[in-house]
Chains A and B, each alone.
Chain A
Amino acid sequence: RKEVEQDPGPFNVPEGATVAFNCTYSNSASQSFFWYRQDCRKEPKLLMSVYSSGNEDGRFTAQLNRASQYISLLIRDSKLSDSATYLCVVSGGGADGLTFGKGTHLIIQP
């Protein structure tokens, strides 16, 4: 069974701090990896794809460890607007959709 596991949180973090999330996935044949952001009562939106070599987009850094089957997201200099639920998402690469973690709830406090 395909599963993606995440710590649900909530993570309460002061503004300006650095915060990191991990998630693990069970399907070793997974091909594509993403972090999505979901605001309360809204649809998920793609935050960034995760590549084997690791990738950075501004304050956000994502890393993939295929051997240990985990994915990480690092947020530096956190902003109040970063408060959201962050979904770890895995795809087998085919047309049969994505497998979502239940999300990690992040609260940035002023």
Chain B
Amino acid sequence: SQTIHQWPATLVQPVGSPLSLECTVEGTSNPNLYWYRQAAGRGLQLLFYSVGIGQISSEVPQNLSASRPQDRQFILSSKKLLLSDSGFYLCAWSYGRGYTFGSGTRLTVV
């Protein structure tokens, strides 16, 4: 069966520090992968999506970047975090009509 792993579950980082969040999927090949962010009191916002290795599409300009070094690995990064980067980050993959989310990373920038 297909599973999606995301870590860490929680993270507290100082302003200006770098960020790396990793997401991996198992049990499928060539998945479409997504990074979403949910800020407090707001809906989920699509940040990046990838349809294959090295292919990244960005939905909104921001302080973040994404990479897909392997078929089932999707990484979200920042060189210098801002306070406004705080939120709940969710990785997801699509399987046709549906999407499955990882358990999320709750990032607090202090």
Contact = CB atoms under 8 A, between A and B. Distances in A.
A33 B34 CA distance: 18
Contacts of A98: 44, 46, 99
A42 B106 CA distance: 10
Nearest to A45: B101
A90 to B, nearest CB: 12
Contact of A97 (B34, B102, B106): B34
Contacts of B34: 97
B100 interface: yes
Interface stretch (A14-22, A64-72, A100-108): A100-108
Given A95-B51, A97-B46, A100-B44, A43 B98 contact: no
Interface string A33-54: 0100000011111100100000
A41 B106 contact: yes
Interface in B76-108: 88, 90, 94, 97-104, 106
B3 interface: no
Tell me whether chain B's interface is mostly helix, strand or loop, or mixed. Answer: strand
Chain A: interface residue count, which band?
20 to 34
Contacts of B104: 42-43
A25 to B, nearest CB: 13
A34 B98 contact: yes
A30 interface: no
B102 A103 contact: no
Contact of B101 (A44, A95, A99, A101): A44
A41 B38 CA distance: 10
Interface in A60-110: 87, 95-103
A95 B32 contact: yes
Interface of A: 4, 32, 34, 41-46, 49, 87, 95-103
Ranked nearest first, the 8 interchain pairs of A and B with the lowest CB-CB distance are: A102-B43, A43-B101, A100-B44, A97-B46, A100-B43, A43-B104, A95-B51, A95-B32
